[in-house]
Structure 1
């Protein structure tokens, strides 16, 4: 086992094995810096990654590694920058892209998102928006569009409809690809709206699935998926492709509905209420 180990059980032995020292992962789009490099044409980009050592609580990767948080930050910022410059958020993205395939997944999702007629209930504020990413900047192109309502009294967020537009190169199995993209959106929506692990000073205290918050079947929105088939092009990996854009699309739609810009996941009602009162 050597002088140090990442194996938790090794730390509990009578002759304890010391923890391995945390080290920076330098693989291209690996670890916490996955998708930290924006896919947009931005001059003089500066990307900083901080390695935090000697944490009391052991952490590990969530699905999509750093892409979930990084795309959330980038795509929230794109909407904010567009607003600051008095521009349409979709056109602002298109103006900063050279890749035609990236532009097409944004445009096709935007058209369908605009066409969809939602059912609006009294007591809710409604909004719609989208977010884009190319996973690892080399895999599947994906845009996620969201229509949602925010309860004006409780500040609970209700997802109504989701549009996915994706380009994974030449499609081999359309049903499999659709299932992959849609389940990623559902999982990411659950992370964004519900899921949070509680810790004390040393460990997780979220120790059972009965009390752990997760998106339920009645809360899952309707989903429609547009697949842009690139005949003759290499097939691209689609795993985790929509997980990054999902929280940003939800956050951007919340802003469209309420004017509240939420920057911390999950988007809990009490967090929304606090921001509304600031």
Structure 2
């Protein structure tokens, strides 16, 4: 039933910690999911320094998916979007041929407060890697919700259990949030070849084995999978059809090494536009040349 178990690797980002789960050397992707970070949980103090914010930075060839359990993040991007994301909502940003964005903790800076969530990257199929960049926000009330024997499920993206999210995806996939009462049992979607479950909090059993928070369980294709909540638990389910290998360098994802090299050159030369509403600073290319103060396309 289990192909492998991936433990999160905690990293300090200079003000809060994230747990990096995907990618790892032995498992680069699960379905189209090429990146998976568990942000926090953390309680930010009032007056949080601006250095903790994620300054404007670029992406190509993917969609970023931000989902919060607690707190608020302000998103701004180079297609003109400005959107606060709050618990239960989905920010889905299509990078395509290129986008830049920032993520700032403005409410926590003003008031103090918690931050806890997941950020994932979904690789785009080859035919959509150069799609026009776009941003979509879906409030929690617009996402399908279901209840079954101690499980409250929300379909964040894709299709599962006969429900389809309004989030526009580019390949067959599923992404769910489960809140499980102690003792609850539930099966994963069976129709996808690649499936995983990440334990955000609490503990679950798969088969006869117990798994605590911070672990991703990657399941054997075709196997029937049921999870049991040993304690009250929060679980993220993800997977879908595989897209083939992807190259990753910094924030760039592509099926082509040459395309990534071009993106690196574009950012280094200042050819990628910064967000209209957040263009006074940026994240420089690691180990490379810094773009000019206000790159323009």
The two structures share one fold, judged by TM-score above 0.5: no
TM-score (norm 2): 0.22
| Larger helix percent | 1
TM-score (norm 1): 0.23
| Larger strand percent | 2
